[in-house]
Amino acid sequence: MENYFEAGIENLRQKLLLMASRAETAVNESVQALMQRNHDLALRVKADDDVIDRFEVEIDELAIQLLTKAPLASNLRLVTVAMKISQNLERIGDEATKIAKRARDLSQEPPVKVTLDLPRMATLALAMVKDALDSFVQRDSVAARCLIPRDKEVDALNKQIQEQLTQHMMDNPDAIARCLHWIVAAKSLERIADHAKNIAEEVVYLCEAQDIRHSPKG
């Protein structure tokens, strides 16, 4: 006989995974559009953000429904964590859209002549997103814990890039507009890494029932 409650929980997980893969794709494609100056790709990313937003609403509704059935223990943790992860994924989607918008604008302009460590930052951020989502799928709290310190590196890179661009803007005032786009894009990547870290923290809570947010080590 079918267990409707378990089916509901599984449905929630599946929706979350679908949303996650969409968000991951959005980040991948927006970074790609940025690096390759691909105008069309940028527009596509922006358009697809709607889908991610709808997912957040659906997941929240489903979670509320499941809460009325008073889940307990690991089911309870899954439902509350699902709501939080979906919010983080939606923000990742938004940040990806921001990157896409900047990619769109930058692709219309001549490239800026400065060597930035942005590709490496993008790779790190993308890896963090992928690893966070993998740790959710695998319920691997050790992997999630390992992810958290990696955010520092991304922050450092963001700072470094900002300094570089600020210097460049002072030296080349005609490049200011384009540099600002880059600064915003870098900032968005840094935010994406933050959200990936948040997701990892939620995964730790799901698996270990330990709340490691805002603790000195995290």
Partner 1 sequence: MAEIILPKINLPEAKVTATAGGAPLIAIEQLSLYYGASKALKNISLNLGEKIVTAFIGPSGCGKSTLLRCLNRMNDLIDNVRIEGAIKIGGHEIYNKDVDVIELRKRVGMVFQKSNPFPKSIYENVAYGLRLHGVKNRSALDEAVEQSLQQSALWDEVKDRLHSSALGLSGGQQQRLCIARAIAIKPEIILMDEPASALDPIATTRIEELILNLKKDFTIVIVTHNMQQAARISDETAFFYIGELVEFGPTTKIFTNPAQKRTEDYVTGRFG
Number of residues that make up the chain:
218
Q: What is the largest CA-CA distance in the chain?
A: 72
d(CA 89, CA 92): 5
What is the closest distance, in whole angstroms, from the C-beta atom of residue 79 to partner 1 in the complex?
A: 12
Closest CB to partner 1 among residues 11, 75: 75
Q: Which distant-in-sequence residues (6+ apart) come within 8 Å of 20 by Cβ?
A: 85, 89, 133, 136
Closest CB to partner 1 among residues 24, 151: 151
Per-residue CA distances from 80 to 12, 67, 187, 202 (Å): 11, 9, 28, 9
Closest CB to partner 1 among residues 131, 201: 201
Supply φ then ψ for residue 117, to 5 degrees.
-85, 25
What is the closest distance, in whole angstroms, from the C-beta atom of residue 203 to partner 1 in the complex?
A: 15
Binding residues vs partner 1 (CB under 8 A): 3, 5-6, 70-77, 209
What is the closest distance, in whole angstroms, from the C-beta atom of residue 72 to partner 1 in the complex?
A: 5
Closest CB to partner 1 among residues 75, 160: 75
What is the closest distance, in whole angstroms, from the C-beta atom of residue 3 to partner 1 in the complex?
A: 8
> Among residues 210, 212, 216, which one has the least CA distance to residue 197?
212
Per-residue CA distances from 102 to 14, 28, 113, 164, 183 (Å): 32, 15, 17, 18, 10
d(CA 142, CA 8): 27
Closest CB to partner 1 among residues 129, 207: 207
What is the closest distance, in whole angstroms, from the C-beta atom of residue 73 to partner 1 in the complex?
A: 5
